[in-house]
Amino acid sequence: MKRMTKWRKEVLKIIQKSDKPLNAEDIYRLVEHKPNFSTIYRALNYLEKAEFVKSISFGNTPKYYYSNNEHRHFLYCLKCGKIETFDLCMAQELENKVKKNFMFEIFDHIFYFKGLCKNCSERR
């Protein structure tokens, strides 16, 4: 595997400090010295393949990246695009049933709700 370059380290540090998933544009805005935008994408690709980060897409959205160190679930607002995270995991019971009924070995899961945040709901 390739080495951990300064850009990869910087991108990883930004993702690890964030309390919500970030897309490539968010990360680019937070990088102190601006590289090529393609450098950000290459760093993200490397970090995901090396399993330092995970990604999620909420339908027709760009990929959002978050640290592989934490188990998170997400709330995605369809109107404003706000993403909130929560760590309450109710999937363990479901995982156990799937393993038993389908003889399926589960390594990970991604769980999110799509809807409207409080502010967007109140403005309707």
Per-residue pLDDT tens digits for 94-104: 989 999 999 99
The answer to whether 54 and 65 are in contact (CB under 8 A) is yes
Per-residue pLDDT tens digits for 54-111: 999 998 889 999 999 888 899 999 999 999 998 888 888 898 999 999 999 998 888 8
Average pLDDT over residues 21-39: 94
pLDDT of residue 2: 72
**Average pLDDT of the chain?**
92
Q: In what order do the strands lie in the sheet with 73-77?
A: 83-86, 73-77, 112-115
The answer to whether 123 and 82 are in contact (CB under 8 A) is no
Rounded-to-integer distance, Cα 1 and Cα 86, Å: 33
